[in-house]
Structures are given as structure tokens and as C-alpha cells.
Amino acid sequence: MDLPDEVHQQVHAVAGFAYGAVGADIHVFGDGTPVYLLYARDTHGSADPLRRDSAWLRAQPSRMLDARSEIVEFTGREADLAGLRRWRDRLDRSAVRWLHGPGGAGKSRLAARLAAESAEAGWLVVDAVHGTDTHPPAEGSQDLRTDHRTGVLLLVDYADRWPDAHLRWLFHNGLLLGELPARVLLIARSVRPWPALRAQLTRQRRATDLSDHPLGPLSGRQGGERLRMFEAAARSFAAHYPDATAPAAPRPPYQDLARPDFGLTLAVHMAALVAVDARAAGREPPSDLTGMTAYLLDREHDNWRRPPGGQDAGQPALRPPGGHDRYSIDLARTVFTAVLTGPMRRADARPLLDRLLLRTPVDGLLSAHAEHYPPSDPAAAHVLEPMLPDRLAEDYLALTLPGSPVSGHPTDLWSVTAVTRILRRETGNAPPWTSRSLTFLLAAAERWPHIGPDVLFPLLRRDPALAVRGGDAVLAGIAALDSVDLDVLEAVARLVPQRDVRMGAGAGELAARLTTRRLQRAEDPAERSRLHAELSSAHLKADRRAEALVHMEEAVRLAREAAEQDPAHLPGYANALLNLGGSFTHEIPGAHRAVLLQESITLMRAEAERGAAARERREADEEDEQAERGDEGDEGDEGPQRRHGAVLGALGLAYTRLAVAHWETGDLPQAHVALADADRSFTDLVDHDPFRWWSMSDDVGLVSTIRGGLLTTEGRPQEAVEAVEAVVANARRMAGLSPALHGRNLAHSLTMQSTYLWEAGRHAEAVGALLEALHLHRQLAEVSPGDRDALPDRIDQAADRLIALGRHTEAVPLVEEVLALQRERLAVVGPTPGEAAEAAYTAIHKARHYLRGRRGADRLPWGSSAEIDAEAERLVRAADPAGLWHLLRAVPAPDAVRIAHRHGPGHWAPPEDGPGRAAALRLAARSRRPHAVARAAR
């Protein structure tokens, strides 16, 4: 069983070819499509597609503003560039930085400058492109080998749009795990995903320097950064205009560059380009940033009226089929489509445009679009290359969609229908560009108020499942949009999988925003109590337990107040008590939880008895009516039966959690009584509501798991094993149906089974179950902060079991991993005395003590240096790098250095993602030092 169930295949390409990557790994989905692609900056991201003559460049403003064209010399952001240089040149072997700022702040331009300087300094510069922004690559190869390189610099643009799990897969790529320094620069608008990713990277086995770098507004003081940037951009743009000179100084409306509008690099460049272009055309420039945007997009439109081959004013243009007006309209619509879909292969683009542009020959249109917006993939095989910069493309969407406040720019009613058709789900499946389309619409909606009410919100009302298909980042983006309507949040929230670990963060943000909005309107105590309970659940999903506890306590207070005013609200009060007493086992002592749960059970039993009595009266009345009519009647109202089923399910949960509370306080007899009551409640539930029982199968299985723990505590482990066998079998079946929803329960069930098997003396079986559980916990740790925090203890438990059985070969790597994780945890919590630091110190001491002992024990079988050398030669001839690596780790250090120098790293490299990488790096470094080898020989 693998989690998450999206990604389960890994293709290695070490000195080989797999999706065109040599010297790196590619992770792919089960259908073979890539999670991401890696491109060497030498062939991808270069300015070649835009390095044309001046007439071609100035024909479209987007070409001049595209950072890839490198028209504007790098000016401004010097302090930011210097900071990135220092980060790159640190002594750390691995470093990750999150570069973030609003669209147009200059992130891509800054990253491109760092990339160019790094390439000149001998670094291998690589772009990582997410699968939603690319398509299966064309034939060809990406050479990502690191021979003779200074280091590896990996650039990840749009990092905030990557699903969290996919970013974590990227950090497992072998390209980042070699001997050379590795730097990963994640480029994003939002900093939202960074804390969770940073926490996960902190817990990885290799030490990594983690930092973020915000791009604030450009300095606006007199004669400062903005003015120098404006002057440099104006000079650069003017060089591409015949007989044009750059303005000597900013003139109206550019004299006030200190305005907030001009805090972005793109805004200053736009102002400079408009100034130069308007001066060359003898026109008056617009007076604000919105006017500049419209001016530049008008220029873009004007060029679409000129078919390829006649773009400059002095060149003749061929008349296209249908005339220039029809041609420019179709091309404008193709540009609109490309912004929402991103690049794709022609075979995929053709049917899409056939649906969007009826009675238009799309092949010629795709070729024309490629002339205006050349493909940037290495093989130039893609079409529908989107307009850049992104912020200008977002503005183009906004000004094309009806409702735009810019009256002088033409809108197109077709665009509203096009958005719906572009995102239409075929045969139930959302198109692969769903995430990109929604991301661009959300970004545009943040700055253009008509996008949400007129386009995005109606779209999500019709098909809220699109937001779920868009993924974690889209859910979080919807939650963060100030203008989003409450009914849109509700429609999307209803479709979010409740326990899908891949959407935990986005689902939590969405639920928190939705509930906060509802709370602002709610006045009734019962309603406010229910909403605080939902907000508590949202915080729990995001692993914010302290905030969750505060809201749950408020929910209980309000529910009590509502029940005092009206007894009809007693069931709500009972549920609130259940949530408070059952969900916060680490925050509330067991004795207090038992009191809360017992009160909840009393209220629910009373409700169940009232429901049963009412049901008996109703059934008797129905029988009398049927006897009078002489018929058999119908099935009756299922509503009361479902309500009774809900009470029975809640009772089962409450009794289960009460058993845990009694167990914690040492009252084992009462714990057994509570479990028996839970069994009866769940058994009654099968009769009243089988579907609800099935949906609660994980909770039903927990009863037997806890009973096994009680039996083990009482010295009856064999009975515990028998009790939990059925639980594991059922959990395995459920996880097979949906790993993302039920994988965690299977992991916990296997862990408990391992405990009971161990106590019963069935040690080998116990270790097998525990290692299977650890495999699942590792995958859960990739997507869940809570599981990441618990992973070191779970690994330590498995290592202890292996050590107890004398299986030291398997235990040593696990102990080394625990040591690395605990050191990283200590680096996070700091050395200040406290429970967390003390636990880390204790675990580190335990691991080091064991490893020192094992090194001595493992070296005992080895005799003279000659015998060690003979064994090394045998392993080299047998092409057994794993065996030679084990030998290097087992023999004394001088012998290891000698062997490493003699045979080279290619013969003894450790597993790419296994423990011992740091030791391998040290050995490789020493093997290149003759004086160290000489000392070892002596």
C-alpha cells in the first residue's frame, strides 16, 4: 500500500534516458505523465526564442517586457541579488530559499540574473517545471550530469502552485543528493506553503539550510532605485526604436515614481516602455498604471492585425483568410486561451480550439500564434505559449472579460463562454490545465473586482468540483480571496474530501474562512456553537491544535447556553462535549475528559431513549391507521431512523473515547465496560443505518484495537492478538479502496498489532507488521505535519525491535536516521531547556551510544589490512557496491580511507536516499587528498 495514491512510480535515469533526463530522476504519475520535468538552463529558459531583430521585438510590448528577452540591463534589486549570491556561496552542502513577492516584483528577473552569474561560475543551472505547466516532452535529452561543475542551482518557479506533496517529491531527486553543493531557489508570490515545506525539510535525513527572501517594494526615495531603474529601462527600450531617444528624465505622469503603483519592477518597466513608445509615435502617454496597461495591450492587439511576415510598419502584409478583422479576433481569442491553458502539444490544442473557435481553421491559427508567441520548450514542439509577464497576461484576461472598468479597451462576450468551455469536464474528468486556469483567474480577481462576481464565482457555483480538482493551492487561493461569496465557499467546501491527507492545508484554510464568514452573521448561540466547532475542526486539519482547543471550548460554552434556553438543543450540547473530550487527548487530562464524555453519554442516551419511545408510538399509530384502511402501508419516514442512527454512532464514539480516558487514569475495569457499551452501540447501528456503520468502519475497528491494548496491559496478549486481527484485515480492505482516506488507520492498526504480537512472543511477526506500518507512516509524513513530527519516534521504535532480535544490519540505518532527525529537531527547538529539547538530547545520546557500540562489534571479524584489501577486491570484481559500502562502514577508518582512494566512489556509493550520505561525502573528499591516503597507508 502506497500513500499518497497519486504518485507511485519512480523512473531513474543515471547516465541514461528517462523522459530525456540524464543524471537525474523523474517522478511520474501512474499513467506515465510527469509530476515535473527538469530542464538545463543552457537549453531551456534561455533568451533564444526572443532574441530577434528590433522590429520583431518592439511589435509586441510583451516581448520587450518578458524577462527572458533580457532587453533591460539588470538595475535595482542590487541588495537582493547580493543576498542571493551570499546564500549560494555558503559552505552548507544543501540550501533552500523561498523567494516571494507580488506579481511584477521582479522575482523572475532576479532569479535569471542569479542563474546567469551562477552558470558563468561553473554551476549547473536547472529549471523544474510542474506537470500542470507542461506536457509529455518531445524527443530529446536533458544533460543534467554534474561532472566538472561547481554546484547545482535548481530554480522552481510558481512554487506556491505546486501541491505540497509534489514539492517534497522534488527534494528526493538524485540531482540534489550528490557530492556537489546543491541550492534550490523556490520562486512564488505567496509564502503560504513555505512553513509546512520548511518543517518537512527540517526533518529530512540531510542537513539543509532553510531561509526565505521577501521582495518588498522598490525604494522610492528621491533619486533612488526606482528612478535609476526607469532610466536604465528607457535607455534599453529606446535602443530598439529607430530615431528614438530615451527621455532625459521622467516627465508627467512619471515624475512621481514614489507612488505605491511603482513599487514593482514591472510597473517601472511598463512606465519606461510606454514613455519611449508614445514618444516614438508622437502620442501622449496615459496618466496612471491602468492606462499604461491598456496602452500596452492595445499595442499588442495592433500587432495581431498584422499576420506573420508583415509585422513591421514598413513591411507588406499578406491578407489572411477572412480578412484582418476576423484574423485579429481569432488570434486574440487564441491568446486568451493560451493564458488559461499554458503550452501543450498541437494534437491536444487542435480539438480544444475546434470547440472554442467554430468554423475557423485552427492549424493555421496555431502556427500564427506560435509566430507571435514562440514556443520555449527545448524542442520547440509545443503550441499555445502564453503571454508573459504573468501580471500582464492576468490584465489581458481582465480587460477581455465583460465588466472591465477600462472603457477604451474592447471586451469580448465570447470570453465568458470560453472560460466555461476551457474548464468543461469531459467524461467527468477535469482538464489537466484546471489548476493553472483557476490560479490565473484567482490572481486576476485579486486586482480586478469584476472577475469574481461575473466569471469565477458563477463558474464555481455551476461546477464547484473544479476547485477540488485544482488542488490544495487553488483551495487556499479561494479561501484567501477577499471578495469571494459565501455560497461559493459553501459549494466548494461540501465537495472537499474530509480526510484526504493531500488536501489538508487547503481544506483547512477553506473551512476556516467559510466558518469565520458564517460567524460574522450568526447570532443564535446554537448556531454559533456549531460554527465554532467547525472552526475547531478546520484548525485541527491544519495542525493548529491550540487554536482548535480555544474554539472547541467556546463551542461547548455556547451549546450549554443554548440548551439552557431550549432543551431542543441538548443534542448539540452533547456533540460539543464529545468533540472536546474526544479530540484533545494531549491537551486535556484523562480524568477531565472522562467527566466531559460521561456527561455527553448521559445526554445522548436520554436522546436515544426519547427517540425510541417516539418511534414506538409512531409505529403503533401507523399500525392502527393501516388496520382501519386495510392496507400494508409503506416503508415509513426514514428521517427518525437516520437521526437515531446518528445518535448510536455518536454514542459508539463517546464510549470508545471514554475507554481511553479510563485507561489513562488506570481504571481498567471501567475501560472494559465502556468498550462493551461501544460494541453494543455499533451493533445497534448496523440494524438502523448500515451505510453510516460502513462509513465509520475505522472507528468501529478502534474498539477492538483498544481492547487489545487493555488485554496486553492485563497480561493477556494472545487474546489481544486475536482481537486485532479482524481490525487489520478490515483496515487493509478499506485502505485498498482509498489509500488517501484510510491509509492512516491501517498504519495505526498495524502498529497496535505489532505491539500485541510482540507481547505474545511472536517477535518476527511483530517486526514485520511494524515495518509495514513504518512504510505507511513515512508516506503520511510527506503530506501531514503531525505525522512528520511523530516519524522519529516511530523509526526509533522499529529500530529497538530489530536490535532486540539481533538484526543489527537492518537496525543501524534506522538508528542513523533517528540521529539525523533528532539533531535537526534540536536545531529547530534550540538548546533552551524544555521538554522538546530534553527529548531530542535523550534520543541523540541513545543513538550515538548504540552506533559506537556497533562499530566496535562490526569490526571484530576483520583481521589484517591485507585481508581487508582482499575482501574489497573481491567485492569490486563482483560489482557489489552495496557490499563494499558495508565493508567501508565496518572496518577501521584508516582502512576505509585507503579502500575509498584505491577504488573510487563509483564502486562504493551508498543508496541514493539512504543513510550514510554524509560519511560518503567525507570519504570521497579524503580520497582526493594524497596526504590523507599516505597517513592511512602508514
DSSP-derived secondary structure for 391-408: HHHHHHHHHHSTT-S-TT
- In this prediction, residues 211-227 reach a mean pLDDT of 82
Q: Residue 132 is placed in which grid cell?
A: 500542470
- Residue 282 domain-assigned? yes
So what's the pLDDT on residue 539?
80
Residue 673 pLDDT exceeds 90: yes
Query: Can you give the pLDDT at residue 618?
Result: 67
3-class SS of residue 327: helix
> What's the pLDDT at 682?
85
The Cα-based distances of 384 to 131, 235, 337, 372, 891 in angstroms read: 16, 32, 8, 10, 59
Q: Is beta strand 142-143 parallel, antiparallel or unpaired with respect to 124-130?
A: unpaired
Question: What cell was used for 188?
Answer: 512564488
348 in any annotated domain: yes
For 163-204, the pLDDT digits (tens) are 777 887 888 787 887 778 999 999 999 888 887 788 777 766
421 belongs to a structural domain: yes
More reliable by pLDDT, 753 or 336: 336
Enumerate long-range contacts of 427-433, CB under 8 Å, 24 or more apart: 430/465, 430/466, 430/469, 430/470, 431/341, 432/131, 432/132, 432/135, 433/132, 433/340, 433/341, 433/342, 433/344
The two counts, helices (H) then strands (E), for the chain are: 40, 12
N-term to C-term CA, the chain? 52
Q: Cell 431512523 appears where?
A: 641
What pTM, to 2 d.p., does this model score?
0.66
Is the pLDDT at 252 greater than 80, yes or no? Answer: no
> Do 395 and 406 meet the contact criterion of CB atoms below 8 Å apart?
no
Same domain flag for 335 and 264: no
pLDDT digits (tens, 9 = 90+) for 884-931: 887 877 777 777 878 887 887 777 766 554 555 555 555 555 444 444
CA–CA gap between residue 733 and residue 719 (Å, rounded)? 23
Report the alpha-carbon distance of residue 801 to residue 767 in Å, rounded. Answer: 7
- Assign 373 to helix, strand or coil: coil
Q: Are the CB atoms for 586 and 615 separated by under 8 Å? A: no
The predicted structure's pLDDT at residue 778: 83
Q: Identify whether residues 149 and 271 lie together within a single domain.
A: no
pLDDT digits (tens, 9 = 90+) for 59-84: 899 999 988 888 888 888 888 999 99
Task: Give buried/exposed letters for 84-98 (b at 16+ CB in 10 A, else e).
Answer: beebbeeeebbbbbb
Nearest-10 crossing angle of helices 893-903, 881-890: 150
- pLDDT tens sequence across 815-872: 888 888 777 766 655 555 566 677 777 888 788 888 777 665 555 455 667 778 888 8
SS3 154: strand
Kindly tell me if the per-residue pLDDT of 619 is higher than 90: no
Q: Report pLDDT for 118.
A: 94
Give yes or no: residues 234 and 343 share one domain: no
Question: How deeply is 853 buried, as exposed, middle or buried, from its count of CB atoms within 10 A (0-12, 13-18, 19+)?
Answer: exposed
Question: Do 332 and 432 have their domain in common?
Answer: yes
Is residue 362 within 8 Å of residue 368, measured between CB atoms?
no
Question: Distance between CA 111 and CA 117 in Å, rounded?
Answer: 10
Residue type, 31: D
Find the DSSP H helices in 738-834: 739-759, 763-783, 785-804, 808-829
Most confident of 255-264, 447-456, 797-806: 447-456
pLDDT at residue 354 greater than cutoff 80:
yes
The DSSP result for 684-705, as a single string, is: HHHHH-HHHHHHTHHHHHHHHH
The three cell numbers locating residue 519: 460567524
Number of structural domains the chain divides into: 4
Note whether 203 and 230 are same-domain residues: no
- Angle of the 265-281 helix axis to the 225-238 helix axis, nearest 10: 40
Cβ contacts of 170 within 8 Å, gap of 6 or more: 27, 35, 36, 128, 156, 162
Domain boundary among 267, 287, 307: 287
Q: Which three cell numbers stand for residue 179?
A: 557530492
Task: Examine residue 483 and state whether it is found in any structural domain, yes or no.
Answer: yes
Answer yes or no: do 229 and 376 share one domain: no
CA–CA distance, 288 with 305 (Å, rounded to integer): 26
Query: Which of the residue ranges 289-298, 354-363, 617-626, 845-854 would you say has the lowest mean pLDDT?
Result: 617-626
For residue range 687-709, list pLDDT tens digits in order. Answer: 778 788 777 877 887 888 888 88
Looking at residue 892, what DSSP letter applies? -
Decide if 917 is inside a domain.
Answer: yes
Cα dihedral 387→389→394→400 (10° resolution): -40
Mean pLDDT of 445-463: 95
The cell for 71 is 532587453
Indicate whether 776 belongs to any domain.
no
Above pLDDT 70, what percent of the chain?
A: 78
Residues 488 and 374 grouped into a single domain: yes
Does residue 276 contact residue 234 with C-beta atoms inside 8 Å? yes
**Do the Cβ atoms of 236 and 71 come closer than 8 Å?**
yes
**Rounded mean pLDDT, 216-220:** 84
Which residue(s) pair with 21 in the sheet?
Answer: 142
Range of the domain at 887: 861-937
Residues 871, 891 contacting (CB under 8 angstroms): no
Residue 405 CA to its chain's centroid (Å): 35
CA–CA separation, 124 vs 42, rounded Å? Answer: 9
Q: Which of 455, 461, 516 is nearest to 488 (CA)?
A: 461
Q: Is the same domain home to 345 and 473?
A: yes
Per residue in 400-434, pLDDT (tens digit) is 999 988 888 889 999 999 999 999 987 778 898 99
- pLDDT given at position 353: 94
Average pLDDT score over the chain: 80
Domain boundary among 499, 525, 557: 499
What is the CA 830 to chain-centroid distance, rounded?
27
Residue that finishes a domain, picked among 499, 518, 543:
499
pLDDT score for 836 = 67
Residues 97 and 175 in one domain: yes
Asked whether 455 and 441 are in contact (CB, 8 A), the reply is: yes
Task: Judge if 461 and 494 occupy the same domain.
Answer: yes
Cα 266 to Cα 105, 158, 794, 825: the distances in Å are 6, 17, 49, 40
* Parallel/antiparallel/unpaired status of strands 9-13 and 24-28: antiparallel
**Does residue 169 or residue 570 have the better pLDDT?**
570
Residues 342 and 483 in one domain: yes
CA dihedral sign, ordered 244, 247, 253, 256: positive
Query: Residues 665-684: what's their mean pLDDT?
Result: 90
Nearest of 770, 772, 761 to residue 796 by alpha carbon? 770
Distance CA 847, CA 828 (A): 19
Q: Are 264 and 390 in contact (CB under 8 A)?
A: no
Of 246-250, 285-289, 390-394, the least confident: 246-250
Non-local CB neighbours of 366 within 8 Å, separated by 6+ positions: 334, 346, 349, 350, 353, 383, 384
Together in a domain, 380 and 466: yes
Residue 505: its H or E element:
helix 504-521
6-30 pLDDT, tens digit per residue, is 333 344 433 333 444 454 555 444 4
Residue 791 contacts residue 822 (beta carbons within 8 Å): no
Residue type, 564: E
DSSP labels, 428-484: TBPPTTHHHHHHHHHHHHHH-TTHIIIIIHHHHHH-THHHHHH-HHHHHHHHH-TT-
Q: What pLDDT, on a 0 to 100 scale, did the predictor assign at position 297?
A: 94
Give pLDDT tens digits for 272-330. 999 899 888 888 888 788 889 999 999 999 888 876 654 444 444 444 555 557 888 99
The three-class DSSP label of residue 99 is strand
Please write down the HEC assignment for all residues of 258-273: CCHHHHCHHHHHHHHH
Q: DSSP 3-state assignment of 30?
A: coil
Q: Which pLDDT value is given to residue 907?
A: 77
Distance separating alpha carbons of residues 226 and 263, to the nearest angstrom = 8
Give Cα separations from 479 to 100, 445, 467, 510, 841 (angstroms).
Answer: 19, 13, 11, 5, 40
Q: 380 in helix, strand or coil?
A: coil
What pLDDT, on a 0 to 100 scale, did the predictor assign at position 204?
60
Quote the cell numbers at residue 652. 459508539
Phi-psi region of 250 (alpha: psi -120 to 50; beta: other; left: phi over 0): beta
| Percentage of the residues of the chain whose pLDDT score is greater than 90 | 29
Residue 230 cell numbers, joined: 526607469
- How many CB atoms are closer than 10 A to CB 892? 14
* Mean pLDDT, residues 497-525 taken together: 80
- The answer as to whether 751 is a domain residue is no
Give the per-residue pLDDT at 136.
Answer: 44
Asked if residue 373 belongs to a domain, the reply is yes
Reported as a pLDDT band with limits 50, 70 and 90, residue 882 is confident
Q: Which CATH number does the domain housing residue 128 bear?
A: 3.40.50.300
Q: Cell numbers for 885, please give them.
A: 559500502
Q: What is the pLDDT of residue 20?
A: 45
